[in-house]
Amino acid sequence: GEPFAEIFPNVRGFIDGRTEPLDPAAVAADSDVVFLALPHGVAISLVPQLGERVKVIDLGADFRFRNGPVYERWYKTAPAADALLEQTAYGLPELHRGEIRRARIVGNPGCYPTAALLAIAPLLQSGLARATGIVIDAKSGVSGAGRAASSRTHFSEVNENVFAYSTPGHRHTGEMEEELRLLAGEVSFTFTPHLIPMTRGILATVYLPPARSVAREEAEAAYREMYGGEPFVRVLDGENLPQTKATLGSNFCDVAVRVDPQSGMIIAFAAIDNLMKGAAGQAVQNMNIMF
């Protein structure tokens, strides 16, 4: 019963509706598409109540995995039925646009996997990097932790502080592993997320062993080839490197790549707004593809 604009004051003058109790039948009757933003495990039981006609974009984790047992291992919750998973696509458009277009359900990717996968994909797809020994180092703004109160996200804890968390074993590891295996077969990587004192944004820096001697120009060409037709991925050139402020409030992902002449390692970068390309913006992008 609360006015939506009182919960989110930034939408005053745009949205004048009130929040309503959840009634799946009523939602299904007047909706072509439903966006779900719910704790994991809830969408699994809710989606069947929406019927076969309604398309669904789930911003939670319930439909991000093709393999039900893998989802259960990472989220300790029973997976969706196989019949639902067969109607589902992983919602990273730059890798799965065709599947998204045909799907009834889209599992919107997590914010960290969005940044990391877009940084890594051109290098594995082109064969320039090895799929083993990859290191993913990522920093996120505090909004990535959600709105629920937590001692870890209090201002006095976050301000003037940077720290790693949930490592090893952050839940997004499973999601990245499944997608990277589709690109390159067996993979091995280390993922370490950090919380940084800003509201929104993710910067991922990824270190990849080269498959052979690689020049920066060759690596950049792989990015331009893969993302040349993608409206929301910007491949930076020259001395420009991705930064979170450049993607703030947008659905863009900025990517760049360098080669360390001393070690030969390839260093890939990606920056996104974790609430946009890392969540709601990508969900709208998926809706546009589905329709």
Q: Active-site residues: which are they? A: 111
Q: Residue 205 corresponds to which amino acid?
A: T
Task: Report how far residue 133's alpha carbon sits from residue 146's, in angstroms, rounded to the nearest whole number.
Answer: 31
Is the preceding peptide bond at 113 cis, omega within 30 degrees of 0? Answer: no
CA distances from 13 to 6, 17, 280, 284 (A): 11, 11, 20, 21
CA distances to 15, 95, 115, 209 from 35, rounded to whole Å, are 17, 21, 21, 39
Nearest to 95 by CA among 172, 182, 211, 199: 182
Note every long-range contact of 145-153, with CB atoms under 8 Å and residues 24 or more positions apart, other chains counting: 145/195, 152/195, 153/195
Cβ neighbors of 180 (< 8 A, separation 6 or more) are 117, 120, 124, 131, 187, 189
Please, what is the Cα angle at 101 between 50 and 227, to 5 degrees? 135
Strand partners, 134: 189
